[in-house]
Structure 1
Amino acid sequence: MNSQQSVAEQPIIIRRKKVYKAEAHHGGAWKVAYADFVTAMMAFFLLMWLLNATTEEQRKGLADYFNPTIPMSRISGGGSDALNGSSVFTEDTLARSGTGSSHQRSIESPASNASFKEANRKSEAENTASQAEAQAIADSLGSLKESLGNESRQLSEHLLIKMSPEGIVLELVDTESEPLFPVGRAVPSDLLIELLDLVSKSFSTFENDFKIAGHTDNRGYRNGAVYDNWNLSADRANAARRMLLRTGIDPRRMREVSGKADTAPLNWENPAAAQNRRISITILTD
């Protein structure tokens, strides 16, 4: 009895387990909205940059291009359909003005075709002749350098021959031991006079025009002198021109005499190198 009474007197304990449930993320719609916002901002800043980078005339041209009020051209495109254009039936219903047929229906003029072929043959013949002429000049200058190498290695070291889009370039280059001009001056040395005498003899074997350009290294004058490398290179080119004229070269063959200072060195790695001080003679073959 007592045991039953003690069991009945014990309280009943109910344990409730509380479960914490995380809230939902509501899907990924916000990511799409954010991506659209970033794209719109990028397009806006790109538009602002383009507006700042273009001129007023360019902006006006863009505005005219997108302006729908600008009238279309009144000149027919060959048909009477929309926008004065053509349709799939244009070949069957040709415009009465005679401009509606396509290239497949048109007839090529035999006279114009023959003239085009004749002009093409003449152009090919001229190109072949020009290439042959350039090769002959290169062979002549190559023979000059070879003969100088056999006679005097000192002279051959000052001659370089290369090709350019304008023609054949003959470079009279300086060396540390044997300069073509005194430092900072445009008075030719005896070596340059001898070289130009030999070059002028080769020039007598062809009738091409030529150009003379003077070049210097990157060393400049001190104390901000008014006379600089531009003046020096031009004076040296003119000195070479005068020496060639004394040898009997026709002055009408001289197309150009210029000074380029140190803007076109032969040795880019060392702008102060001796070979950058030179006289360039371009025999024009174009």
Structure 2
Amino acid sequence: MGAQANVAPVIIKRKKVVGGGGHHGGAWKVAYADFVTAMMAFFMLMWLLNATTEQQRKGIADYFSPTIPINRISGGGNGSFGGDSIFSEETLPRNGTGATSPGEPRDAKSNSADGDGDGGAADEVFKEVDAMLMGRGGETMLMENELRHIVTRITDEGLVIELFDLDSIPLFEDRSDEPTQLLRDLAIIIAQTTKAVTNGIAIGGHVRADPLVLNHSPVWELSAARATKMRLLLGDVGIAPRRVQRVTGHADREPVTTDRMDRRNNRLEIILLRDGR
């Protein structure tokens, strides 16, 4: 009995195994960083939408557009064409739009084999004219204040150059077809740019709705008179009269804002028409 009393007791340790609750690594940190980055990009996008004008947003979108040609060999300029003129003999063949004699105007016609009338070649010419006007080729004849009054777009009809009023900065004197100095300056710039091609031109006049209910609303006559005045301004600065195919007054029937009386609806559309339009 005495010997058994001196034996050390046996202690059994039972280790508790916990499954699924241990260390998971750092994958969650990567996922969280991606989430924070996405949220930062989202809020930056929201800020840009509220802090920029329509023209600035269009410029930002065009900057990221893969359709703008980039020249690998710089010609000394910082624009898309490396300092070359968009109508030079070196630039046009490289961009696949053909070439002409120096200074010879071109016509935006399609040379596609399927005979679809207007194809990629016409769009390329319109894009070049647009780039020269809006400065996407590195240089522009427009000042920043004038750029605020212009938006452009390429449609099935052709290249549309839209000029519009801003608050307290109109294109015409109030309720008349008398152009302001701003519109006269814009007419000179547009004429110099559109001389690069020989396409026909259509001019459309639009006005905002009249706030007064009148027995005879003057919007039809006013929109037509303003379109006619633009035709005369372009003729005075060198556009051949035979290029103008039509002059139209649209009154207040095609507003661009939900508020039909908004000054933004006072606008002119100068359209470089596709061949056959």
TM-score after normalising by structure 2: 0.54
* Alignment partner of 1:264 is 2:254: yes
Contact 2:132 2:193 in 1 (8 A): no
* 1:167 aligned partner: 158
CA-to-partner distance for each residue in 1:133-181, whole Å, 9 max, x for gaps?
Answer: 2321222223211278786211000111012221111101111121001
Task: Summarize the alignment of residues 72-151 of structure 1 with structure 2, pairs less than 5 Å apart.
Answer: 124=113, 126-127=115-116, 130-146=119-135
Q: What residue identity is the alignment partner of 2:206?
A: H
* 2:193 aligned partner: 202
Offset at residue 131 of structure 1 (A) = 2.5
* 2:178 aligned partner: 187
Contact 2:146 2:186 in 1 (8 A): yes
SS across alignment from 1:124: coil
Contact 1:142 1:161 in 2 (8 A): no
* Alignment partner of 1:246 is 2:236: yes
SS across alignment from 1:155: helix
Greater fraction of residues in helix: 1
Change (3 A) 1:127 1:272: same
* Alignment partner of 1:236 is 2:226: yes
Cα distance in structure 2, aligned partners of 1:150 and 1:247: 15
The structure number with the bigger radius of gyration is 1
SS across alignment from 2:235: helix
Cα distance in structure 2, aligned partners of 1:266 and 1:181: 18
Q: 5+ unaligned residues in a row in structure 2: which ranges?
A: 1-110
Cα distance in structure 1, aligned partners of 2:241 and 2:233: 11
SS across alignment from 2:182: helix
Change (3 A) 1:241 1:262: same
CA RMSD, 1 decimal: 2.4
CA-to-partner distance for each residue in 1:14-33, whole Å, 9 max, x for gaps?
Answer: xxxxxxxxxxxxxxxxxxxx
Contact 1:137 1:206 in 2 (8 A): no
SS across alignment from 1:192: helix
Moved over 3 A (4+): 125-130, 147-151, 220-223
Contact 1:180 1:189 in 2 (8 A): yes
Cα distance in structure 1, aligned partners of 2:266 and 2:251: 9
SS across alignment from 1:165: coil
Change (3 A) 1:259 1:156: same
Q: 5+ unaligned residues in a row in structure 1: which ranges?
A: 1-121
Match of residue 272, structure 2, among 270, 277, 283 = 283
Change (3 A) 1:150 1:190: closer
